[in-house]
Structure 1
Amino acid sequence: MNIVVIGTGYVGTTTALVLAEMGWNVTGLDRDENKVNLLRQGSLPFYEEGLEELLKKHLQSGRIRFTNDTEQAVKDTDVIFICVGTPSHPDGNADLRYVQQVSSDIGRYMDNYKLIVNKSTVPVGTQERVTEWIRNAQLVPHSFDVVSNPEFLREGKALSDAMNPDRIIIGADNEHASKLLQALYYSLDCPVVITTPRTAELVKYAANAFLATKISYMNELAKLCDRLDINVKEVAEGIGLDSRIGPGFLQAGIGYGGSCFPKDVSALLQTANKHGSNLTLLEQVISVNRAQHLHLLDKVRTRLGSFEGKKAAVLGLAFKPDTDDIREAPALRIIRALLDEGALVSVHDPVAKLPSDLNRSAVLCASPEQALIGADAVILCTEWSSYPLLDWKRVKQSMNQPNVFDGRNLLDAKLMTALGYYYQGIGYC
């Protein structure tokens, strides 16, 4: 089968390359000519470990190519994956303009049967709308099926997740469409759940909302642990050993970010509100997450007093390690708050860059050692594995005050204290 993946962002490029690795002939389609040219040269427009090597491999093997010719790409294919962005509107609803746009393109250019697979994260009922958009755009009637096939990729672990998925969810209206997609995934060894398109769409939102709930729950517990002089890491260990709960996403910190959890939880809330259902628990999940960074800043403020004229070194920009994604990153909220209160801010991240609005206000440093020079406080915001490996004994000599505030409970509290640092984590660590 020939496959076209529409959208060459994080999900689309990963999907295209994994399908090529599975032996299929794949075309990546994007209207952005600069992005297409970059991919043709073997370079990714984002950072994801292991993916660029796979890109070079399959450009050379000929199993993947990239184009911005929508008409030809649609006509030459059997299966079309929709992997375009669905950002949030200001009110929290998902913006489906890109999904609608590509659906209309598919309808306009299709010349025989197509299986359309929607991987974009979309509200319940979108499969029906995609079907309608395609049908309305057709110049000549052709049969097609639209299947919901949500992705569950973790940024920084996308390649591993795509090659070794926990499950594959296929939401289809008929057996022919579901079997066709199952045949595409024949080499993957995991449970396959066949369900309705609406159910598949809800599974994606429900999964992300549940994971976000675990994070906010632990962050609320961490505040209580601070008051009770209890180590939240030990609480998390005790909870996580319960097989009904599990250890994942029980790490207290400064909140979740990225492209998925914030918008997906908001979109699920909007869906519930439209249908007269109140998801009050998720409302609190969002509220806790939006305020969580303030808990760490209160710790810093208690130690330093005013931020005016003080230098803060922020370690980590990305919302999580092993990615350059800064969307909804808690570090950005912390940096903006520090700048608003008159602090001098230096920043380091191994791969992520400052957004344009902070480029002139904060200083992006080439190394963590450089960022710490003259610092009154270190604020660790991303749990990059390189940060515990710093020579903390040596870098202390370059700091103005040896204060470390660990927003991810990454460092060894006893070791940092023994080295002469004032150390504070989240939840008495």
Structure 2
Amino acid sequence: MTKQSKAQDTGKRELRILVTGGGTGGHVAPALAVIQTIREQSESADWTPTFLYVGSEGGVEKGLAASAGVPFAGVQSGKLRRASRWYKMLSLQNLMDLFRIPVGVGQALGEVRKFRPDVVFATGGYVSVPPVIAGWSLRAPVLTHEQTVQVGLANQINARFAARIALSFEGALEELPPRIRPRAFVTGNPVRKVIFGGDRDRAREFCGFDPADDALPTVYVTGGARGARKLNLSLLEAMPELLTQCRVILQCGQNSDFETVTARVQELKDHLVRRVFVTPFLGSEIGDIYALADVVVGRSGAGTVTEVSALGKPALLIPLVPTGGDEQNRNARRLVEAGAAALLPNVDLDGARLAHEILALVGDPERLARMGKATLALARPRAAQDLAEAVIGLAQGRK
């Protein structure tokens, strides 16, 4: 039975929603949060959604879309790597990707024609540009969403084709050309519902922690879905000191670091090994991990910043060194200025400094409490609902 016939059998109108965005989990997580919200809203509505996720074959979005039960179509994509000087942008990788972009647009055009979307919802990343252009060319309304304070290059392009432009922060409005600002509105950044309602006991059991160590604070360290090598290696250096006073959970990323990290951890003394848990990636367990964590340490990508804000978690943020934009520094400083996070510049990151900063935080419970309250005050809990309603509004308008 086709999805079209399923819609007819329920007596509901079908709304066809093409979703695109990827490259990092920070682009994919908001898309999946909105998909989940739309599904929930459809239960009591006179319409039913049919989704297609268009992304890169080699990106994290393929697996994440599959785990959410969303059909996926892969296209080629080119990435324009920004640099401080124009001639540095004439790299071999950029020139090769310039040829991939029209191929990706052609592939996306084919997928869009087959799917016939009522709306295109884009969350950024270079892979989102071809589907946005293809959808716009076939007169499907486009809604694009920017997760950071600084509008990324892909979304600067997408915004020119968009009927509506959703922003996570008021400050991002200034990043848009004046002529398209009237199409913009602020929603905040959606978060996965799985991060809420976690259970500390389940997390302790999942990590294999000894209940005798429950009095120790727990530190959750993450470099995101792809990981952060410098952070992983610095944490390894810091572990002998940290584990005397903390338990550590490390999401090291889906890269070659996992074997290196686990081998080094096994070299620790037995009682310290029991206080550390290493995993390449956290799925449905993430809510439990957040519930157990007293401090979150990580990069300041949109996903991490949004999730710690939604949960009111104190954070130590280590912005990724900017390549052209400076969005991670701007994300981090927004929390630091609000008293919600501490900042460790990437240039200063090493084992000794990381241990010092973490121990300073966990050793001051009153400061952690103040930071948690300040972090929670930055949250926008209705982001997913507002974006879902905007997507549905555009789709119904086309109908």
**Alignment TM-score, normalising by the size of structure 2:** 0.33
From the CA coordinates, give the structure whose radius of gyration is larger. Answer: 1
**Alignment TM-score, normalising by the size of structure 1:** 0.31
